[in-house]
Amino acid sequence: MIRRPKPGESEEDLLRLQEEFLAREVASSANVVKKGDKRKNVAGTAQQNRVEKDVVQLPGADPSSGLPMGATSDPPKKKSKFRSSRPAAGDYGVRGQRIEIDLDRDEDPEVAMERHDTHITSVLSKIMEHDTSNAAVHLPRGTTQGFPTALHRGHTTGAQNGKPHKKRSLFAQQFESSTSNQFGVSTEPQSEQPIRAPVSSSIQPHSTHPMRVSDLPMASSSVEENMEMGESIAAESSPQEPHVISGAGLLQGSLDPERARKDIQQIHQENLGRLSAMSEEEILQEQQKLRQMLDPNLLKFLQSKGPSKPTQKPTSSSTPTSKPQADSENDSMDTESSAPMATEPIPEEKMTQETSKQRVHFDDNAGGGVDDGKEEQELGEPPIEVKKEWVNMNKVESDKISWLKDMPKPSAKAKEGYQARFDFNGMLVARDADIPVREGLHHHGEEQEVPGYSLEELFTLSRSSVVQQRVLALQTLARVLYNCRISDIGGELMEPLVPKLLEAGVLFLFRWSLDDVNEGVITACIEGLAALLIQPGDESTSDRVFSWYRGSETTPMRPVVEDEEDESGQKIEDKEKSDPQLASQDVIKALLRMSVLERLRYILEVVRPPAPVVLNALAILIRIARHSQEATHEIMKCPRLMQTVFAEFLPLASWKSQGDVVSEAYNYPLIPALKLARVICQNGRHFAATLLTKYNLMSVVVRYASMEPVDMPMNIGEAFQLSTEAFRVWQVCVSYGLACDTYRDLYPLLMQQLQVFQRLSILPLDSTHDASSKAANRLQMTRACTVLSMLEGVIHVAGSAVILQQKQTMRSDEQSQQHPRAPPPPIDWSHVTGLMPPLELCAKRWLAEMTNCSDVLEAEALALAGSSLNFLASVYENWTRQPSYSPVDCLQHIEELVTRLLVPFMTSTSFYSVVCNLKSHSSVSHDGNSSLPIISALPDFSCHPENQSLVYPCVKRTSSYGFAAGLLRLVTTLLKIHKGMAAKFCPIIESTYVTEYLKAVCKHPHQSSASQLVGSWARYEHHVLYYLVKLYYHVAQQSESCHQYSILYHSTALVLLTSLQSGQEHYVHDLLSTVLFHTDFLAEGRIGDPIASDLADMLTMNGKEETAPSTNSSHQGPTRGELLQDAYDHLGSIRHLYMVYFGAAAQALTRSRARSLHQPHDIDTLSLPEFTGPLVPMDWIFLPLLHLYVEAQKAEMLGKTVKSFPPHILASITDTLRWVFMLETWRPKCLQMVPQAAKVARLYCIFLTGNDLFMEDAVSGFLWPILRIYTQPEYLKALDFNVPVPGVASFHDLYMSILTQYEAVSFGNRLFAHFILLPIQQQFNPSLRKAVWFDRVGVLRSLGLPLRECAIPLTNFLEPKETNPELVEIYLGCVASGSVRPSWSPVMYLVAVSHLSKFLFSRDNLDQVEAVRLKLKMIRQVLALKDKVLQQQILQYQGLDLTQPLGFNLYPQLPLERLEILQAAEQR
């Protein structure tokens, strides 16, 4: 064979293949035939080329005769140019060969193909009609008019000449009712008669006898039915009319209908004659042949054309040609043949009667359809009465009039649900909803009686060519998405709808439709994209917490996507993924790839849509900017996008005042435009610097911030929001140390604002004020809160000026050139000293109002009071670092503030209400999952705009976490400066409200879900818990009475450590360095707890029975009290170990410290790292062991053998075990969140690292007490190896590694043996026991743990009894072969004998034959044992008894029941 070209071959390879093909001289599989131009007469052109120029030859004439074409005797046959280009008939080969058709030959291609086709034409190709080739050709009749007379359709009269009604157009009815004289054509017959050709047979099958195809039986009929049909052919055949050959073609094309009818009748008689001459066997044979060759559907059609059995004889002789009627009960097809051909008109009354009895009729001209009788029967009475004088209503079309009827009732609701349908507001519509048809929710799709549109129909309608339909579909989809986002869809769905819509491609539908030129379609698409991308309550919640402590920090709203690898192990980049793949992982990235920014810029700049579209477009840009810094960079580099936003929607000049609803968005300040600038600034210092320098952002901020909201020409609510947003933008810029020179310019204005704030009260307004006044008061407090937060940022910048100046002075010139640092800010501490008196006065007033207030405060009031406290805390933090700091003045201020303000408030009922609010809004009551639909490719904060019960607890509108964080931060800051005031806060530490809140936190430790962004809100609770723990840290150093709560606060710190998120690395570092390993939090070491532990152990040992196994005799080492005291003494080295381990991420720690300590010159971005759940894993105490194991595995993979460890590595392992032992003894509840199986798996790392590490005295000294803790009943009950172990890909593989290590290096170590026995307890997976008894049989030889020294209860290995037959057989094989002996493995020998005896004499599964056979087989094997002692132990085993040497006792004699079983086994 000739090889086909392959991809990648060059032109030289193709030429070489061509030469090889030509050299073989093989016929090609395709021939190229050049066709002549159909527009030219090729033959005539050739002739003209052969004659001389002065000779004229008529086209079509014979050049040899010289006569014209019309001189011949016969009329010439005209050929069209298309006909002349067709191929002529010829030989096309035989069956199986390639057919080649030469189109230059004069033959019809259809004729050539039909000759070689073996389909149904092989049967019907012999059908011949009447030969009219010799008939005379009549010329068209002449007319006396030059143009036909114009007719009026209003004169039509329906059916004429007695002809039945047919489905014809109005023009056809008019033409039929007109006479030829109206067209000027004479109806007189011509004198000449046509020549009739001889009649040929109408049907010629393979046999020479004729056959009536209509008489063929059904394909499923039996032979007896065929015989009966053959016998009744003569009776069924009507000699007067044919059933298959109707002759409609002859009647239509003939000018003499009477003569055509005679020809039809003659053909029919010839067919009947040939059929009558055939025998029954021949007829059946021909029927069988036709049945095999013809299609079953064609057979049914031909049978339907046959005659039906008459039910009654005709009563009138005046209609001899009428067709007998069919019996509806015996007619399987439930059809009748078409109307018969009649020579006389049928009366209209009789025709109506006969037609009404028919169910389906076939019309030669219009095809099959439902007749009027059927329609009347199904449709009933028409909804309106049709009048004859109505225009174009001569024929009543009942099927169309039926649309005027009322809709039928929808079907009942299915048990598994039904297809969701929505109204135009995006709400679910019930199937039985009483909705008028005029509402437009009923349509001509599926289930037309059910109101509403399904999603499939909306997708179809969105691709309509009608603009209004596209707009309607897109708007409905947008509203459906919005309702799904807020979980207010009016019903329940079986599956989340938004992920299904994304999977169906709604994102691509909106993006494609966004390129439409119609403004209505663009509006609907923008609305749909906004509904898809934006969770409605997220922005309002983010704005509400913006003034909280560290509320300006934002979490990127990007999905967590795991890296994908190709077959070669290379990472698959985003650019290599298709758009659907990228959209399924990250919707925002997919939109950026589809150039949505460029399209939005074009819409805003060129299309200039109305205000709602502009607001939605800006909301989409904000959502894209919140995605990540990469998305923000795409927005910034999009040509003219930000320029259009600043020029059109943030005007510096005056603007035209508009009403409450903005109608014109251009040249009018829009709050979302300013918010977009703020979100961009939050994503990075360089973005903020670009907006400040390139787009003159501060001019816009000053324009809106310096103007009083009441003086702005706009709605008062929008004016306050615009001014508030301007201060928020300023606050973000100040957080980086930017835009501080503007503070100096607006200092008088800001001081004026502070004076206004002094007159502002946070108490709720009384009932005399209306709703608008209360709303204005809330807006004013929100604006004041934002101003204070901005001034707090100014305090941090001014406080850092001296630090930057000192660092700049200490650095040499070379260091300055290599690592340039930011220059000092344009303001210093002298510029902010004037802010302290008015703000301190505000804080005192507001806190005093809260102390004496018993009413519930508004969320804005709490936020305002919290902002003032945060401002004071920042002032005192930076005051102590200034050169002008006076310790005496500062301490006096602190004493006055604490004594007159803070202590009275924190001992009042208002403070207790705040703490109770903390408990009710804690995340411990939240499972970490969102109540709103979650989209993995489009994460959000899951906040509802109105229903606060669906919002994360700690950021609800009624939450007090923002105020509590500011208060606790201020107190902690003051105690850090003035430690002498710590004792005054001891009642706060010991308060019942505070301790109850902390107990709730420790009782239900919360682990944020890594897959849901909603868990990032928990960081505001982390601030409160952190400062509560720090408050105890300062108070406990000055007050001994607080030490009784050390366990509670230390447990809180441990829970907080495992709950902190990415971006809070500074909190982790600070807790490890100052709290977790501090002796004030581990007061048990100072109050004699180690000695008490030893005393408790001694009392427990004395109270035990002598028969109990001794767990202490296996290891003679330090007591538990001595180990606890040793661990307590090594808290410093333990702290150093974990500090080094968690300090590895130095860069992340530096960024987190800069944000936590408010160092503007070191803050690069206010965007936190990507949210991936808790920063510290639950099993963090075991991480040094895992790290050591991984490093040892890497060394072994490089061919290095770990024989011994340096002292510092051994010390690290020992310190880790000290910390584990200490926490398991003193803080066991804090480690309950770690699965018990995971703890054991982590300790396996010690046995897998090195050969003798577990034999070191320091290591084994702590492993033994930890083992005793893990073998206590409550711990063993929690131990479960049947579920996946966190952090372990396959525990079975890990256990196999442990068995291999034990067999190689254990030397029968009893400590190691205990860890081997833990997973093979009877309650766990049999595969683990099989690994010991079958895969690693050598382990049994060295597993010599004595029965009385086994720390694990032996009943855990014996109960429940073994039901796995394969394991029991393995037990028998091991004890019979001697692999397990009492002297080698007493525990395993006890296990084997016990389970063998219980299995052999068990009454279970006696109804299963295979189980009984297996038991009998094993009994015979036991009876055949040569070791009679073993045989006796298996047969006479009674139960566990540790007083016996083997750990079990025997029956004195074989029980009768067992004896009967043995006898039965021997008999078989």
Share of the chain above pLDDT 70, in %: 74
The neighbouring-strand residues paired with 361 are 369
Question: What's the pLDDT at 412?
Answer: 62
Higher pLDDT, 134 or 1322: 1322
Residue 1285 is classified by DSSP as P
Q: Per-residue pLDDT tens for 1370-1411? A: 999 999 999 999 998 999 999 999 999 999 888 876 667 788
Average pLDDT over residues 55-80: 46
* pLDDT-based confidence at residue 196 (cuts at 50, 70, 90): very low
* pLDDT-based confidence at residue 929 (cuts at 50, 70, 90): low
* pLDDT-based confidence at residue 117 (cuts at 50, 70, 90): low
CB 1388 within 8 A of CB 1343: yes
Residue 129 has pLDDT above 90, yes or no: no
User: What is the rounded CA–CA span in Å between residue 915 and residue 1404?
Assistant: 61
Question: What's the pLDDT at 1298?
Answer: 95
CB 616 within 8 A of CB 577: no
Q: Per-residue pLDDT tens for 209-243? A: 333 333 333 333 343 444 444 444 334 444 456 66
Count Cβ atoms below 10 Å from residue 861 Cβ, excluding itself. 24
Helix (H), strand (E) counts: the chain: 65, 4
Residue 116 has pLDDT above 70, yes or no: no
Phi first, then psi: give them for residue 28, nearest 5 degrees: -75, 155
The C-alpha angle 1076, 1079, 1084, rounded to 5 degrees, equals 105
Residue 252 has pLDDT above 70, yes or no: no
Residue 352 has pLDDT above 90, yes or no: no
Secondary structure (3-state) at 957: coil
Residue 1211 has pLDDT above 60, yes or no: yes
Q: Can you say whether residue 1088 is alpha, beta or left, with left for phi > 0 and alpha for psi between -120 and 50 degrees?
A: left
Question: What's the pLDDT at 269?
Answer: 82
Question: What's the pLDDT at 1100?
Answer: 57
Across the chain, mean pLDDT equals 80
Residue 860 has pLDDT above 90, yes or no: yes
Question: What's the pLDDT at 322?
Answer: 37
Higher pLDDT, 230 or 1007: 1007
Residue 958 is classified by DSSP as T
Average pLDDT over residues 1438-1443: 91
Question: What's the pLDDT at 288?
Answer: 82
Question: What's the pLDDT at 389?
Answer: 75
User: What is the rounded CA–CA span in Å between residue 529 and residue 1127?
Assistant: 60
Residue type, 528: G
Q: Per-residue pLDDT tens for 282-325? A: 888 888 888 877 777 777 777 776 655 444 444 333 333 333 34
User: What is the rounded CA–CA span in Å between residue 817 and residue 808?
Assistant: 12
Range of weakest confidence among 180-194, 202-216, 460-474: 202-216
Greatest mean pLDDT among 116-125, 699-708, 1082-1091, 1204-1213: 699-708
User: What is the rounded CA–CA span in Å between residue 700 and residue 652?
Assistant: 6
Higher pLDDT, 1320 or 315: 1320
Q: Per-residue pLDDT tens for 944-991? A: 998 888 899 999 999 999 999 999 999 999 999 999 999 999 999 999
Residues 6 or more apart from 242 whose CB is under 8 A from it? 264, 267, 268, 271
Tell me the H-state helices in 928-983.
961-977
Residues 6 or more apart from 1331 whose CB is under 8 A from it? 1292, 1295, 1296, 1299
Whether the bond between 1452 and the residue before it is cis, its omega within 30 degrees of 0, is: no
Average pLDDT over residues 494-516: 93
Higher pLDDT, 35 or 1032: 1032
User: What is the rounded CA–CA span in Å between residue 837 and residue 469?
Assistant: 65
* pLDDT-based confidence at residue 611 (cuts at 50, 70, 90): very high
Residue 804 has pLDDT above 90, yes or no: no
Range of weakest confidence among 189-198, 1110-1119, 1384-1393, 1456-1465: 189-198
Q: Burial, 847: exposed, middle or buried (Cβ in 10 Å; 0-12, 13-18, 19+)?
A: buried
Residues 6 or more apart from 869 whose CB is under 8 A from it? 843, 847, 963, 966, 967, 969, 970
Q: Per-residue pLDDT tens for 617-657? A: 999 999 999 999 999 999 999 999 999 999 999 999 989 88
Residue 346 has pLDDT above 50, yes or no: no
Higher pLDDT, 172 or 454: 454
Closest Cα to residue 864, out of 772, 956, 764, 962?
962
User: What is the rounded CA–CA span in Å between residue 280 and residue 735?
Assistant: 106
Question: What's the pLDDT at 1439?
Answer: 92
Question: What's the pLDDT at 435?
Answer: 85
Residue 1034 has pLDDT above 60, yes or no: yes
Residue 185 is classified by DSSP as B
Share of the chain above pLDDT 90, in %: 50
The beta-carbon contacts of 997-1001 under 8 Å, at least 24 apart in sequence, are 997/915, 997/916, 997/918, 997/919, 997/922, 998/1028, 998/1048, 998/1049, 998/1051, 998/1052, 999/1048, 1000/919, 1000/922, 1000/924, 1001/922, 1001/924, 1001/1025, 1001/1052, 1001/1055
Residues belonging to the chain: 1468
Average pLDDT over residues 1199-1219: 83
* pLDDT-based confidence at residue 396 (cuts at 50, 70, 90): confident
Residue 363 is classified by DSSP as E
Residue 576 has pLDDT above 60, yes or no: yes
Secondary structure (3-state) at 870: helix
Residue 534 has pLDDT above 60, yes or no: yes
The neighbouring-strand residues paired with 1439 are 1449
Question: What's the pLDDT at 194?
Answer: 41
Secondary structure (3-state) at 868: helix
Residue 511 has pLDDT above 90, yes or no: yes
Question: What's the pLDDT at 1096?
Answer: 62
Positive/negative CA dihedral, 621, 624, 628, 634:
negative
Question: What's the pLDDT at 492?
Answer: 84
Average pLDDT over residues 1441-1452: 91
Question: What's the pLDDT at 183?
Answer: 60
CB 211 within 8 A of CB 290: yes
* pLDDT-based confidence at residue 586 (cuts at 50, 70, 90): very high
* pLDDT-based confidence at residue 433 (cuts at 50, 70, 90): confident
Positive/negative CA dihedral, 1046, 1047, 1052, 1057:
positive
User: What is the rounded CA–CA span in Å between residue 691 and residue 636?
Assistant: 9
User: What is the rounded CA–CA span in Å between residue 446 and residue 439?
Assistant: 18
* pLDDT-based confidence at residue 1186 (cuts at 50, 70, 90): very high
- Look up the pTM and report it: 0.74
